[in-house]
Amino acid sequence: MADHTSHLLNADGSVDHTFDRAGIERRLKAGMFFWLDVHRPAEDDIAMLADMLGFHPLAAEDAVHFGQRPKLDDYDDNVFLVAYGSAPDEDGLVEVHFFASEKFLITLPQDECPAFTEVRRRHERKAGELDRPAVLLYRALDAMSDSFFPLLADLDDRIDDLEDRTFTSPDNAVLGEIFALKRFLVGLRKVVTPQRDMFATLATDPSQLPGITDDDERYFRDVYDHLIRISDLIDSYRDLLSSAMDVYLSTVSNRLNEVMKQLTVIATIFLPLGFVVGFFGQNFAYMVRNIASPEWFWIGGVGSQLAVVAGLLVMFRRRSWI
C-alpha cells in the first residue's frame, strides 16, 4: 500500500485514517456504507479497490490517469465520475475521480482537496450516520463547485488592482500579469464548461446515479446552478481582462504620442533657428561682414532667434499643441 493520506468515513460517522483490504471486506460483508478518500492514489491502490469493489476495467484504467475532462460513465451498479474543484496550488485546480454506488463512495483526488475537509468535519460533528449515498455524493460535488467562488473573488480583486495600475503606471509587469490571468481563466474555463454541461445532463436525468430518488434531483440542480454562475463569472472576468489589455495598449499609445508631440515641438523650434544660422553662415565673399558692434549681436543675432522661438510658442499655444 502506498504511503499517502486517506480518510475512511464509516456509516456511524467515525473516521479511520488508514484502510486495508480486510477492513473494506468487513464493511462490505456487513453492508456498511462508507466513504473512502485517498489522496494521490497509487496504481496498486486502485487495482486493489477495483478487485474488491468490482470496478469496470475501463473505469479502473481511467482512474489511474489524471488530466481528463469532467465526465460521467455509468457501469450498471456504480458510476465513474471526474470532477474539478479549486485548490491552493499553481494551477488552482484539483482533479478528483469518483466511484459511487449504493454501497460506497470512493474519491481519488490528484492533489490536496480542501473542499472535502469541511464535508468530513460536518459528519464528524454529527457523530451519527452518513448521509444517503446520493446526498453524500451531492455534498462532495457541491463543496468542490463552491470552492471556485473564493478563487474567483480573489481574481476579481486582482483585476480591479490591474485596472488601476493600467491607468497609473502601465508597464511590462502589468501586461505580463494580464496575460497570466487570461491563461489562468482559460484553464478554468476548460474544466468548468464541461463540468457544467455534465451537471446539466444530471439535472434533467439524474437516474444515471445509483440510489437516486426523485427528491434528490433538486440537489444536483443546485450544483448545476452554481456552475452556471461560475461559468458566467469566468466569462465576465475574461471580458474585463480583454478590456484592461485594450486600455493598457491605448494608454501606452497615448503616452507615446505625447512624447512624440514634445519631440516634434522641440524639432520644429530648432528648424528655423538652424536655417537662419546655416544660411548666414555660408562662406560667400559678398555675404561675409565683420560686425563689431555688440548691440547688433544681441539685437540682430540672438534677439531675432528669440523672437522666432517666441512666435512659434505663441502659435503652438493658440493651436493647443502645447
- The answer to the question of residue 76 being in a domain is yes
- Spatial CB neighbours of 95, under 8 Å, sequence gap ≥ 6: 66, 67, 68, 82, 83, 84, 109, 110, 111
Quote the CA–CA distance of 217 and 208 in Å, as a whole number: 11
- Residue that is last in its domain, among 213, 229, 252: 252
- The answer to the question of residue 213 being in a domain is yes
Q: Exposure string (b/e) for 62-84, b if CB count within 10 Å is 16 or more?
A: bbeebeeebebeebeebbbbbbb
Q: Say how many residues make up the chain.
A: 322
Instruction: Give the pLDDT score at 145.
Output: 93
- Residue that is last in its domain, among 252, 270, 303: 252
**Which residue has better confidence, 147 or 125?**
147
Instruction: Give the pLDDT score at 1.
Output: 43
74 in helix, strand or coil? Answer: strand
- pTM for this prediction: 0.76
Average pLDDT, rounded, for the chain: 83
Name the least confident of 93-107, 186-200, 222-236, 297-311: 297-311
- The answer to the question of residue 274 being in a domain is yes
Instruction: Give the pLDDT score at 80.
Output: 93
- Do both 184 and 79 map to the same domain? yes
Amino acid at 221: R
CA angle 32, 35, 36 (to 5 degrees): 120
- Residue that is last in its domain, among 228, 252, 276: 252
- The answer to the question of residue 291 being in a domain is yes
Tell whether the model's pLDDT for residue 23 goes beyond 70.
Answer: yes
Average pLDDT over residues 113-118: 85
Annotate 208-245 with three-state secondary structure.
Answer: HCCCCCHHHHHHHHHHHHHHHHHHHHHHHHHHHHHHHH
* CA-atom Rg of the chain in angstroms: 36
Instruction: Give the pLDDT score at 54.
Output: 87
- Do both 243 and 287 map to the same domain? no
Instruction: Give the pLDDT score at 2.
Output: 44
Average pLDDT over residues 305-311: 84
Name the least confident of 9-18, 90-99, 163-172, 240-249: 9-18
Q: Which helix (H) or strand (E) holds 10?
A: none
Locus of grid cell 459528519: 123
- Do both 230 and 265 map to the same domain? no
Instruction: State which residues form the domain around 311.
Output: 258-318
Q: Where residue 312 falls among pLDDT bands split at 50, 70, 90? A: confident
Q: Where residue 13 falls among pLDDT bands split at 50, 70, 90? A: low
CATH of the domain at 93: 3.30.460.20
Quote the CA–CA distance of 27 and 47 in Å, as a whole number: 18
pLDDT in tens, 144-165: 999 999 999 999 999 998 888 8
Q: Where residue 132 falls among pLDDT bands split at 50, 70, 90? A: confident
Tell whether the model's pLDDT for residue 17 goes beyond 80.
Answer: no
Q: Where residue 193 falls among pLDDT bands split at 50, 70, 90? A: very high
Neighbour order of strands in the sheet with 93-100: 15-16, 6-9, 34-38, 104-109, 93-100, 78-86, 71-75
